[in-house]
């Protein structure tokens, strides 16, 4: 009998994380059967389907169609629907990825049904402790059997919370994906498609609730972007949450001089991050992808789970401080050196696949 793995995903960053892990597990052939559950937390074509086709992820075996709603709604409804699938499919391992509401819903169901849970991207920690992603990470780590850490700091964080069993430093799965996609894209061609010149534009993203759902913070950030755009183009692929917040606050005027576009395919993100003069973001994924690309990033958070990059002088925390964002973007500051191996060697997916295959085989002997 093949071992059965059930992946639970729901939101855009989860899709980037499963692609390398599923591909590496597929290398184990018929020994491993993989089932994919999509909670439907992200459902717009350019937030979901596009990633499945571009990253060649198999069509989900189950789409729960949960959609948008409160945290309790997404987590609670997710749990009820995932539970039915787990009871029916009886997987050997349930894999969850990152820190979304799909992650915590999957992890809690697995743990309560005594199915070993594997958490990919375990051990990240940041303040504020009450942000939804931090709550999801902490709870998920504490109910998981296998903790796959992207960095040595993540391993240390888990140790500080008494978690030392089943902890593995594997590297960042998104680094695997970045490296494979980077080989395929042309920065020059992508920049010309987006009407910018290499190293002469900023690439910005903005979607975290602590920025979009606080009008003062949102206004500060948009004012900063508008000021920066007077000097150099700012490309802003806009998340639906952010678009709605801008509309409901009547902040549309700040967007006039920005290159505001709909969410873009992953390959274009990789090329634009690589071609930009600087990245300005509140995304956990984008701030480290900027580093993979060798581009400095201004991080619009008060703290980050990827602290190494700030300590190395590569990324700078600017929170939602208008002056810090403008100064950071417009001043020429030397950036830190790339540290080889910090995020692994681009083989995190196959390391994770190997550890899971071995562990499940050992249990079934
Ligand atoms: C979620 C993750 C966050 C991740 C982000 C990436 C949680 C707690 N947070 O936040 O860690 O960085 O995804 O995007 O899971 N919406 C649409 N169409 C969609 C998806 C969302 O219109 O396809 C709008 C809805 O108004 C929705 C809002 O965006 O209410 C927020 O979406 P939600 O999935 O709740 O959270 P994200 O901000 O995307």
Q: Summarize pLDDT for 238-293 with one digit per residue, the tens.
A: 999 999 999 999 999 999 999 999 999 999 999 999 999 999 999 999 999 999 99
Q: Summarize pLDDT for 186-215 with one digit per residue, the tens.
A: 999 999 999 999 999 999 999 999 999 999
In the reported structure, the alpha carbon of residue 30 is separated from the centroid of ligand 1 by a whole-number distance in angstroms of 35
Which residues are the active-site residues?
Answer: 207
Q: Summarize pLDDT for 73-118 with one digit per residue, the tens.
A: 999 999 999 999 999 999 999 999 999 999 999 999 999 999 999 9
CA distance 156 to 65: 37
pTM score:
0.96
The predicted pLDDT at position 148 comes to 98
Q: Summarize pLDDT for 22-39 with one digit per residue, the tens.
A: 999 999 998 999 999 999
Pick the atom of ligand 1 nearest to 283's CA: 12
- The protein residue with its alpha carbon nearest to ligand 1, atom 31, reads 241
Asked whether the predicted pLDDT for residue 356 surpasses 80, the reply is: yes
Query: Can you tell me the mean pLDDT for 216-222?
Result: 98
In the reported structure, the alpha carbon of residue 42 is separated from the centroid of ligand 1 by a whole-number distance in angstroms of 6
- The protein residue with its alpha carbon nearest to ligand 1, atom 22, reads 240
Pick the atom of ligand 1 nearest to 212's CA: 38
Order of strands across the sheet that contains 234-237: 259-261, 234-237, 202-204, 278-281, 297-299, 315-317
In the reported structure, the alpha carbon of residue 338 is separated from the centroid of ligand 1 by a whole-number distance in angstroms of 31
Pick the atom of ligand 1 nearest to 69's CA: 30
The confidence band for 338, taking pLDDT boundaries of 50, 70 and 90, is confident
CB hemisphere CA count around 72 (13 angstroms): 0
Cβ–ligand 1 distance for 277 under 6 Å, the answer no
In the reported structure, the alpha carbon of residue 12 is separated from the centroid of ligand 1 by a whole-number distance in angstroms of 8
The predicted pLDDT at position 225 comes to 98
Average pLDDT, the chain: 96
Q: Where are the beta strands (DSSP E) in the chain?
A: 3-9, 32-38, 62-63, 93-97, 117-120, 146-149, 167-169, 202-204, 234-237, 259-261, 278-281, 297-299, 315-317
The predicted pLDDT at position 365 comes to 67
Best of 40, 41, 77, 213 to mutate for ligand 1, by most ligand atoms within 8 A of CB? 41
- Which residues make beta-bridge pairs with 37? 8, 62
In the reported structure, the alpha carbon of residue 241 is separated from the centroid of ligand 1 by a whole-number distance in angstroms of 7
- The protein residue with its alpha carbon nearest to ligand 1, atom 14, reads 12
Cβ–ligand 1 distance for 288 under 6 Å, the answer no
Pick the atom of ligand 1 nearest to 241's CA: 29
CA distance 240 to 132: 18
Percent of all residues in the chain with a pLDDT value above 90, rounded to a whole number = 94
Task: Please tell me whether residue 6 adopts helix, strand or coil conformation.
Answer: strand
């Amino acid at each position: 009998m093949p071992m059965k793995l059930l992946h639970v995903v729901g939101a855009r960053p989860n899709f980037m994380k499963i692609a390398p892990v599923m591909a590496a597990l597929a290398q184990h052939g018929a020994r491993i059967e993989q089932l994919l559950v999509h909670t439907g937390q992200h459902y717009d074509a350019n937030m979901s389907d596009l990633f499945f086709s571009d990253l060649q992820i198999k069509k989900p075996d189950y789409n729960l169609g949960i959609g948008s709603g409160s945290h309790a709604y997404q987590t609670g409804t997710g749990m009820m629907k995932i539970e039915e699938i787990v009871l029916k499919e009886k997987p050997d391992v349930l894999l969850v990825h990152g820190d979304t509401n799909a992650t915590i819903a999957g992890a809690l169901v697995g743990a309560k049904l005594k199915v070993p849970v594997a958490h990919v991207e375990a051990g990240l920690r940041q303040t504020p402790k009450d942000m939804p992603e931090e709550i999801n990470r902490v709870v998920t780590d504490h109910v998981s059997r296998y903790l796959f850490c992207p960095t040595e700091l993540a391993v240390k964080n888990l140790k500080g919370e008494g978690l030392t069993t089943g902890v593995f430093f594997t590297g960042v799965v998104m680094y695997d994906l970045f490296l494979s996609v980077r080989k395929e894209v042309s920065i020059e061609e992508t920049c010309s498609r987006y009407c910018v010149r290499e190293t002469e534009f900023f690439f910005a993203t903005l979607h975290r609730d602590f920025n979009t759902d606080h009008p003062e913070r949102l206004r500060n950030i948009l004012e900063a972007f508008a000021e920066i755009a007077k000097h150099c183009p700012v490309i802003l692929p806009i998340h639906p949450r952010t678009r709605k917040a801008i509309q409901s606050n009547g902040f549309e005027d700040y967007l006039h001089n920005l290159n505001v576009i709909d969410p873009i395919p992953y390959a274009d993100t990789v090329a634009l991050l690589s071609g930009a003069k600087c990245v300005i973001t509140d995304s956990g994924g984008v701030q480290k992808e900027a580093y993979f690309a060798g581009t400095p990033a201004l991080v619009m958070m008060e703290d980050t789970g990827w602290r190494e990059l700030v300590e190395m002088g590569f990324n700078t925390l600017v929170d939602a401080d208008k002056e810090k964002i403008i100064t950071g973007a417009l001043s020429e500051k030397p950036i830190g050196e790339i540290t080889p191996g910090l995020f692994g060697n681009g083989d995190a997916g196959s390391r994770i696949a190997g550890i899971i295959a071995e562990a499940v085989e050992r249990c079934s002997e």
